[in-house]
Every structure is written in structure tokens, then in C-alpha cells.
Amino acid sequence: SQELEQSPQSLIVQEGKNLTINCTSSKTLYGLYWYKQKYGEGLIFLMMLQKGGEEKSHEKITAKLDEKKQQSSLHITASQPSHAGIYLCGADVGSGYALNFGKGTSLLVTP
Amino acid sequence: EAGVAQSPRYKIIEKRQSVAFWCNPISGHATLYWYQQILGQGPKLLIQFQNNGVVDDSQLPKDRFSAERLKGVDSTLKIQPAKLEDSAVYLCASSLWPNLAGVSYNEQFFGPGTRLTVL
């Protein structure tokens, strides 16, 4: 089965700083989803990557899928308190099937 | 557009009791997923429906968990009897798959979850 490892497990950054979260797969990724979860809430879709080398951005968040398609990174520029939450990567295991998620990275942004 | 609705939001029960969770997906979404998220872990699939048929229930502990989606719309997940290790957030998600209407990926829309505590 496919294992997803996220690093770091948790992160505390000062407001305005940049940060990167990594998601490494034990197998080739055919589709990689990034979601954000706030405490007590469901998951919010951020973006999805399919092609090796692909990069997508939304507001101050950029995600990349490496050429070998076994790792993805999520980069936040000039972090804000609103970025706080748990970031989860999920691998697409087949057309329409459920996602296989990593354990998540907990982000806290301090003033 | 209304999102995925779940109820109740919180539930506290004692072990060996039974409990049921309800999910109403986004209108028109053919596929519905139930995930279990234990504290500190990512969500893990319990069961996936396409309309009222089961697509994948390989990780559902069938001796105590059951789920149905009788009319292909809303769904109920039941645990009977509950164990301490069932304490978790139960997330329901829905998606358009297989009717993606030109979109190249299967975005899943999640509800707020039901937080279950088993004492």
C-alpha cells in the first residue's frame, strides 16, 4: 500500500515568515491533493497536482509536484494567522477512489 | 451552494452503546465517502458509495460498523457496540465522480465531521 509521510509534523512560525511543508510518497504519485483543516472543522480543498514538475498557486500558497512524482511541497509566503491549521496531503489511489492521507502538519502562526 | 451536512456535531457515549451519524451530501454528487480521523492521524476511508451501491468497504470493521445509502442521497453510519478505540472524528465527503463534467480531477468536498467520544 502507498504510504505518505509529511514533514515537519508541526511548525510554529512568526507572522510574515515563509514556510514549507513536504509530503513524500512510498510510490509514484498519480494525483496529489492538498487540504487544510481547522480544528473542529472539515477539510478545505487547496489544490491538486497531477503532472511531474507541475506547480500551482492560490493566493500566498504554492504547491509543487517533483519530476519523479514521489514528493510534493507546499510553500506559504508571508504567513498570516489565517494560515494556521492542519495541512494534509492526500494521494489519489485510483480514478474516483478515496484518498490516502498523510498524518498532517500542524501550523501555528504567532503574531 | 449548500455544503455537506453532518449531524450530530458531537456525541459522547459509553462503551458498548450504539451510535449513528448522518450525512447529507452536496446535491447531485453521486459518490459519498465516510472517513475516520483519529487524533493526530490523517483521515482513513471506512466506506465509499456510488449512488446507493458500495464501491469499497474493505477497511470497515463490519462486526460493529454498518453504513447505508438507501436512496442514493443521504447516508447513515452506525457503530454497535462502540469501543474506546472508536473515539475519533467521522468525516463525510462527497464528489461528482464519475460525472466530473469536464473536470480532470475528483475533488472531494468534506462536511464538518462528527466528533465521537467513547467513555
Q: What is the pLDDT of residues B40-75, one digit of tens each?
A: 999 999 999 999 899 999 999 999 999 999 888 999
Q: Is B4 on the interface with A (CB under 8 A)?
A: yes
Amino acid occupying residue A74: L
On chain A, the residues whose CB falls within 8 A of the CB of B31 are 96
- Identify the bridge partners of residue A92 per DSSP, sorted by sequence position: A99
Plot region of A50 (φ>0 → left; ψ -120 to 50 → alpha; else → beta) = alpha
Average pLDDT over residues B70-89: 95
Sign of CA dihedral A2, B64, A41, A48: positive
Give me the half-sphere count of Cα atoms (radius 13 Å) on the Cβ side of residue B88. 22
Confidence class for position B8, pLDDT limits 50, 70, 90: very high
Give the residue from chain A lying closest to B57, CA to CA: A98
Q: What is the pLDDT of residues A46-93, one digit of tens each?
A: 999 988 889 999 899 999 999 787 999 999 999 999 999 999 999 987
Which of A43, A98, A103 lies nearest to residue B45, judging by beta carbons?
A98
d(CA A36, CA A101): 12
Question: Can you give the pLDDT at residue B92?
Answer: 97
Cβ contact, residue pair A43, B95, below 8 Å: no
